Amino acid sequence: MSQIEAVFFDCDGTLVDSEVICSRAYVTMFREFGIHVDLEEIFTRFKGVKLYEIIDIISKEQGVTMVQADAEHVYRAEVARLFDTELEDIAGANELLASINVPMCVVSNGPVSKMQHSLGKLNMLHYFPEKLFSGYDIQRWKPDPALMFHAAKAMNVNVENCILVDDSSAGAQSGIDAGMEVFYFCADPHNKPIVHPKVTTFTELAQLPALWKARGWNITR
């Protein structure tokens, strides 16, 4: 690839340190319905999995009927509360975004409102004017590559000339299937290993400029 047209970022766990917060919100949500789940299990088992799928899996395993809309209301309220009081950015996120000189967007399984909340609170929203793309927009979620194609079309770029930075195996798979160069953020030791010619694994956002320059891509200042 001779020229990078855009960089796509996941949000939760990639730019904002929200994975544990969201897992805690799941524990609270299930408790409201009389289901007790382990925080560590939720965190390691369901990273990058969409909300309704998690609700379906756990409710079936526990033999409890849950109305998805009611459960989602509890979950979103708890996430918002925790974001307001505890959310922090991933180390180096702001600095990396400030250094990139090609178009950027966010591609997330979460709703746009959640991205606006987290990125706005941490002063990163201005990097992505009208460039927040959610699986909810098209009712298709990672690992389905449809979100990558949707974002690329909206950005007027060729998806195969774009980079995806994502911390989940589901996200990485969506990038692979879209033909993108994937930079798989594995600061979390629980991450599933991925060996693929399109995938580069890294552990700190600060490593990315050097990794990109080594590939001949001058996309940071």
Q: Cα separation of 49 and 58, whole Å?
A: 12
Query: Which residue is catalytic, options 10, 89, 144, 167?
Result: 10
Q: Shortest CA distance to 18 belongs to which of 87, 70, 80? A: 87
List, in sequence order, every residue forming a beta bridge with 104; answer none if it has no partner: 7
**Residue whose entry in the numeric block shows the structure tokens 């991933």:** 90
Q: Cα separation of 78 and 42, whole Å?
A: 16
Whether 144 sits among the annotated catalytic residues: the reply is no
Helix (H, G, I), strand (E, B) or coil at 220: strand
**How does DSSP classify residue 17?**
-
Would you name the residues annotated as active-site residues? 10
